[in-house]
Copies of this chain bind each other. A is one copy, B any other.
Amino acid sequence: MSLSLNEEQMMLQDSARGFLQTKAPVSAFRELRDHPDKDGFNRQLWADMAAQGWAGITIPEQFGGVDFGYTGLGLILEEMGRTLTVSPMVSTVLMGATALNLGGSPAQKTALLPKIATGELIIPLALEETRHHNPEQTSLRATPVDKGYCLNGRKVFVLDAHVADTFIVLARTSEKNANCTGLSLFLVDSDTQGVTVERAHMLDSRNAGAVVFNDVTVSSESVVGEIDEGQELLQSVLDVAQIGLSAELLGISQQVFEMTLSYLKERKQFGVHIGSFQALQHRMAQMFCQIELCKSIVRRALNDLDAGHDNVSIVASAAKAKLCETVRRLTNEAIQLHGGIGMTDEFDLGFYIKRARVAQQTCGDYNYHLDRFARLNGY
């Protein structure tokens, strides 16, 4: 499989870039941040994005999607990183739809995937419980009751929590032992009795929140995948999530780099353009190389997903770690090279740093993935 884009993919990239820069530029994000409403995202914009086929980009045609593959999804996320577009794309398309695609029963797929594809259904994963990503330590309990399960516990950092229609909830259904991981995934509608959502205000001004499950009863049909065997499905979903987030971080990295490059070419000090200082040139050249490496590893990871390779966990952690490392260096350097103006809220640079930080942390940060990479490689 080639690591260059084919014609169809290049067309998608162009059209995504055109769409976002017209309909959802950074100024739209600023507007949203400065005038927060109850939704925290633009429903009309999301409907337009769905109409472009983006909400169903990875969903098979039989379930109403366009089945364009992960590379397509990655290209859209990359462009959204450039414009900081707020939408349920990460929570619902990258994660929710992937969980159903990979683990849903035929009935679940038939019921839910078409609604995702039209943009009607917001369906995030409710995963985290503590300050550090660690799904294996899940303690939210689902205990068997008559014809179903009863959930008790609290999830934090749930993306799009307060606008979600349905949650895919990670729960402990038995103790971990040699034969099973003891984890399971459940579909829980947000209006089910006992579900309470607490909206949180995050660094990147996006939607997230805590969800409390208090004696929440769901039917046996709500289980996604096998009971007690949720870990493997979850890891596959998370691998896709890592790679998608890496694509978004790639978009952020490129945008931040280009902003800095332009600034270095415009800004004069001591009578010359600051971009003529060799110390700054070398730093920019090194960052350029890093971005090229990032492009390649993200492209390759998306390729591997599309090809259904089985080593994808290793590549997913490699990509996330590499992108976290690069975007951190890049955003720090970008502020430093911009000087005072980069520190002001009037200038857009701060938005990228904030969004990058949240995306870095989502589903495991640099340290988590570097450690996981070693673990998966057996050392």
Interface residues of A, Cβ cutoff 8 Å to B? 277-279, 281-282
Dominant SS among interface residues on chain A: helix
- A220–B277 Cα distance when bound, in Å, is 70
Number of copies of chain A assembled together: 2
CB closest chain-B residue, reference A277: B278
CB closest chain-B residue, reference A276: B278
- A8–B282 Cα distance when bound, in Å, is 46
A282: which B residues are within 8 A, CB to CB?
Answer: 279
- A281–B282 Cα distance when bound, in Å, is 12
Pull 6 A–B residue pairs with CB atoms less than 8 Å apart, ordered by A.
A277-B278, A278-B278, A278-B279, A279-B279, A279-B281, A279-B282
A277: which B residues are within 8 A, CB to CB?
Answer: 278
- A278–B278 Cα distance when bound, in Å, is 6
A279: which B residues are within 8 A, CB to CB?
Answer: 278-279, 281-282
A281: which B residues are within 8 A, CB to CB?
Answer: 279
- Interchain nearest-CB distance for A374 vs B (Å): 15
CB closest chain-B residue, reference A285: B279
- Interchain nearest-CB distance for A128 vs B (Å): 24
- Interchain nearest-CB distance for A280 vs B (Å): 8
- Interchain nearest-CB distance for A278 vs B (Å): 4
- A121–B101 Cα distance when bound, in Å, is 77
- A277–B278 Cα distance when bound, in Å, is 7
